[in-house]
């Protein structure tokens, strides 16, 4: 096997000193920012705009064709179109973004996170155009934004080859983050294929296909340090964050401070982060990430930008990091010391995805999106009720953040807020988040590690209890809305029950003499009242109310349950041939397995083709061994959910596609 670019996961200390390659200079004339363009989209653009409004700074959005009606476009004072939909055509086109800033009269550019936020050439293009760059010097970005180069600066020796003894290993994109371009490899025979897949995904997501390999440390803690530096030599280390709850190597729950760290280890993390920032002349907000395992810390990377999880640090330290970024960019000095921390903050990322189906991303209209107003719950989002969730970008709907005096109080408060949220539309990970926060293992900081979902995923994705009663409420609300089968009245001649099915729950009921309803299945349910939008049921002596809303796509939300109504009769046109592989999500076919053609023999579990949806790559596998008798997919083809991709016949005749997420 050819030599591979790799780095070893060696302990963080002792740390090799870093050559000061990018000393910052104080601007000769402090700039004043009056109009800011955010070179990003969605939640982070809306979050930056919020601070700009408070500071009296005008805002400019950029948008792709897919984002023409997005919230960040509606919230900006002006917006400039970037023709196309793919990131490579739009948000990754630094030349177009700079032209947009100049055309809109902006005098500064904030990159947000992802996309071009860690692209040194883009930072240079911004400043060359006479615009203020809200970020670190380009040389500092180059020194730290690439994980491979950052580790070289830290003196971590690269490996030259991979052997069985090194397994498992982790393939990672040198640029970017968010779990994209990342693969765990446990068998040497799979390495080349995963290198190619990770490189292709990294190139699509970040415009840089460089990947590297490092030993994979099982079940460590992901801990990071927030930095903020000015151009006058002041460096703030704003405490630690724990981001150990991850799926597909992407963070799901983050909190500050990282709980349960020994004082000496925490001090070492803070000191290392400060020394690294000073060594490269860092200016602005940045984060140094570590993997903590067996009481030792291993350097992962430095993110030379604002992090997704920055709100928990803001809540603990009582600061606005975006406002401070702008202040630093205008040449102002930070106070010598940061504010003192207080309490505990925790954040959950709410995604349009189905954890029970391998975290498959979901699309559709977000019909209703409301969180409880009490308790000072913070919501950072790029969506409101009525917005559509598309296929082109990340599936994150929002970040939900709370602050409390203690960790236990913050965890309880966040779980309660999520549990009471009203989210109608695509399937989300809300129930998983609530179950995670209430899990005993999460309550014990000593048990936190990145293997949480590997151990507990099966139980955490079990359906929420009480769905059978939500189905009763849905059926009765429907009956009340149409006056019942018998016009809302009781008949002297007893008739057969009405039957409705929601998901796996069959409901049978009949009208009563007093104009109400009697439920015959499931048993033990007494109907207190039923209207088209609200049903009150008594089960086991406990009365519960269900707010019910039905939508044209067949989904019904009853209380905190999302149900899908099954038709009484199946439309023959919707039947598919045995062995049909259907697209598990809308997306784009990016690859077909080498040599795959009609007539080929395939084995169960063999990857046949790859779909890209919401910036993630998903592989569709053969559900059983057999012969490929049809292939309807080619690279570049856009498919909707349920589209026929291929047919495998003979040895087994499955009735639907199987899909395996590889990230």
Contacts of 190 (CB under 8 A, 6+ apart): none
Contacts of 547 (CB under 8 A, 6+ apart): 422, 533, 534, 557, 558, 559
Domain for residue 497, yes or no? yes
The pLDDT of residue 308 is above 70: yes
Q: Among residues 116, 136, 156, which one ends one of the domains?
A: 136
What average pLDDT does the segment 396-419 reach? Answer: 98
Angle 145-149-152 from CA coordinates, rounded to 5° = 135
Distance CA 1, CA 505 (A): 54
Domain for residue 448, yes or no? yes
Q: Which of 399-403, 444-448, 502-506 has the highest mean pLDDT?
A: 399-403
The token duo for 129 is 């155009």
Contacts of 99 (CB under 8 A, 6+ apart): none
Minimum mean pLDDT among 120-124, 379-383, 492-496: which range? Answer: 492-496
Contact in structure between 272 and 13 (CB atoms under 8 Å): yes
Question: DSSP 3-state assignment of 376?
Answer: coil
> Is the domain of 257 the same as that of 389?
yes
Q: What is the mean pLDDT of the chain?
A: 87
Minimum mean pLDDT among 371-375, 380-384, 531-535: which range? Answer: 371-375
Instruction: Output the CA–CA distances (angstroms, integers) from residue 592 to 246, 522, 611, 621, 642, in the order listed.
Output: 29, 47, 9, 11, 18
Backbone φ and ψ of 139, nearest 5°: -65, -35
The pLDDT of residue 129 is above 70: yes
> Is the domain of 364 the same as that of 472?
no
Query: Annotated catalytic, 305?
Result: yes
- CATH, residue 646: 2.40.50.100
Taking the CB of residue 483, how many other CB atoms lie within 10 A of it? Answer: 12
Of 41, 305, 560, 591, which residue is the catalytic one?
305
> Is the domain of 266 the same as that of 373?
yes
| pLDDT band, very low/low/confident/very high, at 16 (cuts 50, 70, 90) | very low
Tell me the helices (H) and strands (E) count for the chain, helix number first.
Answer: 15, 39
The token duo for 163 is 């052997």
Q: What is the pLDDT of residue 190?
A: 87
> Is the domain of 414 the same as that of 488?
no
> Is the domain of 454 the same as that of 479?
no
| pLDDT band, very low/low/confident/very high, at 140 (cuts 50, 70, 90) | very high
The pLDDT of residue 573 is above 70: no
Q: What is the pLDDT of residue 641?
A: 74
Question: What percent of the chain clears pLDDT 70, i.e. is strictly above it?
Answer: 88
What average pLDDT does the segment 378-402 reach? Answer: 96
Distance CA 551, CA 532 (A): 13
Residue from 315, 284, 282, 307 nearest 109 by CA: 284
First-last CA distance in the chain: 24
Domain of residue 362 covers 221-460
| pLDDT band, very low/low/confident/very high, at 661 (cuts 50, 70, 90) | very low
Query: Tell me: the pLDDT tens digits for 37-48?
Result: 999 999 999 999
| pLDDT band, very low/low/confident/very high, at 178 (cuts 50, 70, 90) | low
- CATH, residue 105: 3.40.50.20
Could you give the count of Cα atoms lying within 13 Å of 78 in the half-sphere of its Cβ?
15
Taking the CB of residue 602, how many other CB atoms lie within 10 A of it? Answer: 22
Q: Among residues 117, 136, 155, which one ends one of the domains?
A: 136
| pLDDT band, very low/low/confident/very high, at 6 (cuts 50, 70, 90) | very low
Question: What percent of the chain clears pLDDT 90, i.e. is strictly above it?
Answer: 62
What average pLDDT does the segment 436-458 reach? Answer: 95
The pLDDT of residue 2 is above 50: no
What average pLDDT does the segment 547-566 reach? Answer: 94
Q: What is the pLDDT of residue 663?
A: 31
> Is the domain of 42 the same as that of 102?
yes
Considering only residues 618 and 178, tell me which one the structure prediction assigns the higher pLDDT. Answer: 618
| pLDDT band, very low/low/confident/very high, at 68 (cuts 50, 70, 90) | very high
> Is the domain of 555 the same as that of 584?
no
Domain for residue 615, yes or no? yes
Q: What is the pLDDT of residue 219?
A: 81
Q: In what order do the strands lie in the sheet with 132-133?
A: 78-81, 58-63, 35-38, 108-110, 132-133
The pLDDT of residue 423 is above 90: yes
Number of domains in the chain: 4
Q: Among residues 395, 428, 460, which one ends one of the domains?
A: 460
Domain for residue 201, yes or no? no
> Is the domain of 619 the same as that of 485?
no
Distance CA 435, CA 418 (A): 10
The pLDDT of residue 73 is above 80: yes
Domain for residue 155, yes or no? no
> Is the domain of 380 the same as that of 426?
yes
- CATH, residue 303: 3.30.470.20
Distance CA 89, CA 69 (A): 18
Q: What is the pLDDT of residue 622?
A: 87
The token duo for 294 is 């067996």
Distance CA 120, CA 29 (A): 23
Distance CA 387, CA 399 (A): 16
| pLDDT band, very low/low/confident/very high, at 632 (cuts 50, 70, 90) | confident
Query: Tell me: the pLDDT tens digits for 148-165?
Result: 777 777 666 655 578 776
Considering only residues 219 and 471, tell me which one the structure prediction assigns the higher pLDDT. Answer: 471
Query: Tell me: the pLDDT tens digits for 98-117?
Result: 999 999 999 999 999 999 99
> Is the domain of 556 the same as that of 607?
no
> Is the domain of 601 the same as that of 543?
no
Domain for residue 360, yes or no? yes
Reported in sequence order, the residue ranges of 177-232 that DSSP labels E, i.e. its strands, are: 183-185, 211-215, 221-229
Q: What is the pLDDT of residue 10?
A: 38
């Amino acid at each position: 096997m050819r030599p591979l670019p790799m780095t070893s996961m060696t302990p963080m200390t002792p740390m090799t000193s870093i050559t000061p390659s990018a000393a910052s200079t104080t601007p000769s004339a402090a700039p004043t920012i009056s109009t800011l363009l955010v070179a990003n989209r969605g939640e982070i653009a809306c979050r930056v705009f919020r601070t700009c409004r408070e500071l009296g700074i005008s805002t400019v959005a950029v948008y792709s064709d897919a984002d023409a009606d997005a919230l960040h476009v509606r919230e900006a004072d002006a917006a400039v179109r970037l023709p196309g939909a793919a990131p490579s055509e739009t948000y990754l086109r630094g030349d177009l973004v700079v032209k947009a800033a100049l055309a809109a009269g902006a005098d500064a550019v904030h990159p947000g996170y992802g996309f071009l936020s860690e692209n040194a050439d883009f930072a240079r293009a911004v400043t060359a155009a006479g615009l203020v760059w809200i970020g670190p010097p380009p040389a500092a970005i180059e020194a730290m934004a690439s994980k491979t180069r950052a580790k070289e600066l830290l003196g971590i020796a690269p490996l030259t080859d991979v052997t069985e003894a090194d397994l498992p290993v982790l393939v990672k994109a040198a640029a970017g983050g968010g779990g994209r371009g990342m693969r765990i490899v446990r068998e040497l025979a799979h390495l080349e294929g995963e290198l190619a897949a990770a490189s292709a995904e990294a190139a699509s997501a970040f415009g840089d296909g460089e990947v590297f390999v490092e030993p994979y440390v099982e079940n460590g803690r992901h801990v990071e340090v927030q930095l903020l530096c000015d151009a006058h030599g002041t460096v703030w280390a704003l405490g630690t964050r724990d981001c150990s709850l991850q799926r597909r190597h992407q963070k799901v729950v983050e909190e500050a401070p990282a709980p349960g760290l020994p004082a000496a280890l925490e001090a070492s993390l803070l000191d290392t982060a400060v020394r690294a920032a000073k060594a490269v002349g860092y200016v602005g907000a940045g984060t140094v990430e570590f993997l903590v395992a067996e009481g030792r810390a291993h350097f992962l990377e430095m993110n030379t930008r604002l992090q997704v999880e920055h709100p928990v640090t803001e809540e603990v330290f009582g600061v606005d990091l975006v406002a401070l970024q702008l202040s630093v960019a205008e040449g102002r000095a930070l106070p010598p010391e940061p504010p003192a921390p207080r309490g505990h903050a925790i954040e959950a990322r709410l995604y349009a995805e189905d954890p029970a189906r391998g975290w498959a991303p979901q699309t559709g209209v977000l019909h209703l999106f409301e969180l409880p107003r009490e308790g000072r719950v913070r919501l950072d989002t790029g969506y409101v009720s009525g917005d559509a969730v598309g296929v082109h970008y990340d599936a994150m709907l929002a970040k939900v953040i709370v602050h409390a005096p203690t960790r236990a109080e913050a965890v309880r408060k966040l779980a309660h807020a999520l549990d009471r949220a009203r989210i109608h539309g695509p399937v989300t990970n809300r129930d998983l988040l609530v179950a995670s926060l209430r899990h005993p293992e999460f309550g014990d900081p000593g048990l936190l590690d990145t293997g949480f979902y590997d151990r507990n995923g099966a139980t955490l994705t079990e359906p929420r209890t009480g769905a059978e009663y939500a189905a009763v409420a849905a059926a009765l609300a429907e009956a009340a809305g149409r006056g019942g089968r018998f016009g809302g009245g009781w008949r002297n001649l007893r008739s057969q029950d009405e039957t409705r099915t929601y998901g796996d729950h069959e409901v049978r009921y009949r009208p009563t003499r007093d104009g109400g309803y009697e439920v015959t299945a499931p048993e033990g349910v007494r109907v207190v009242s039923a209207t088209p939008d609200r049903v009150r049921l008594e089960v086991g002596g406990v009365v519960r109310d269900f707010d019910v809303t039905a939508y044209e796509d067949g989904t019904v939300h009853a209380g905190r349950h999302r149900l899908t109504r099954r038709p009484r009769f199946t439309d023959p046109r919707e039947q598919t041939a045995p062995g049909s592989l259907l697209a598990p999500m809308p997306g784009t076919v990016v690859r077909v397995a080498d040599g795959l053609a009609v007539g080929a023999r395939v084995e169960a579990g063999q990857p046949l083709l790859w779909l890209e949806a919401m910036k993630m790559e998903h592989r569709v596998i053969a559900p059983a061994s057999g012969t490929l008798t049809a292939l309807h997919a080619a690279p570049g083809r856009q498919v909707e959910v349920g589209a026929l991709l291929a047919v495998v016949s003979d040895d087994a005749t499955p009735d639907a596609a199987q899909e395996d997420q590889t990230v």
